[in-house]
Chains A and B, each alone.
Chain A
Amino acid sequence: GQNIDQPTEMTATEGAIVQINCTYQTSGFNGLFWYQQHAGEAPTFLSYNVLDGLEEKGRFSSFLSRSKGYSYLLLKELQMKDSASYLCAVRLYNFNKFYFGSGTKLNVKP
């Protein structure tokens, strides 16, 4: 089976940096995706890692260690609009389908 773990909820201050962790145990790993989901809305794609290391996209960065089954999403210079849930998803090899974690709700306070 597939197992993906994320913290349920986190709180951070506007302007700060926050790291959201994701650990996974899957068979046939073929990429890790991060999605952002605001309350009442659809998930939207943020970032993708398939090789070990850091991928940077503006204020957002995502890191992957395949040997440790571990990823994190780093959000810098937090803004109030970053208050949302962040979903970690693993894609399986050759199957084009994803398994999602339960998501981490991030609360950004002034």
Chain B
Amino acid sequence: DAEITQSPRHKITETGRQVTLACHQTWNHNNMFWYRQDLGHGLRLIHYSYGVQDTNKGEVSDGYSVSRSNTEDLPLTLESAASSQTSVYFCASSVSQRPGQSYNEQFFGPGTRLTVL
């Protein structure tokens, strides 16, 4: 069965360290997204990609970067972790919406809980 996985599921790191969160999907979806979820803020978009070599900033992209070298993976890197980046991170993927097709829900990975001390 197709799926979307994230690793690690839990991570504790120190301020200033570089951290990379992995996201891997076997749906063969073009679109991939990274969100963070904090109490009172819901899901906020960090970065997204519509295909290989394509990356775009979301609404809370400062301090984060992504790269898309293949269809399956979109790793999220925190260049220098800060305590404000303590959060739960979700990766998601979807097919591209095409003319005549209206239905392209996002499928979410299980999440990574990151704590920055």
Contact = CB atoms under 8 A, between A and B. Distances in A.
A97 interface: yes
The range of chain B's interface size is 20 to 34
Contacts, number: 51
Contacts of B40: 102
Nearest to B107: A45
Contact of B42 (A33, A94, A103): A103
Contacts of B41: 102
Given A31-B102, A45-B105, A100 B43 contact: yes
Interface of B: 31, 33, 35, 40-45, 48, 50, 58, 90, 94, 96-97, 102-111
Given A42-B90, A43-B43, A48-B102, 14 more contacts: A33-B105, A41-B111, A42-B110, A43-B108, A87-B43, A89-B43, A96-B97, A97-B31, A97-B33, A97-B45, A97-B48, A98-B106, A100-B35, A100-B42
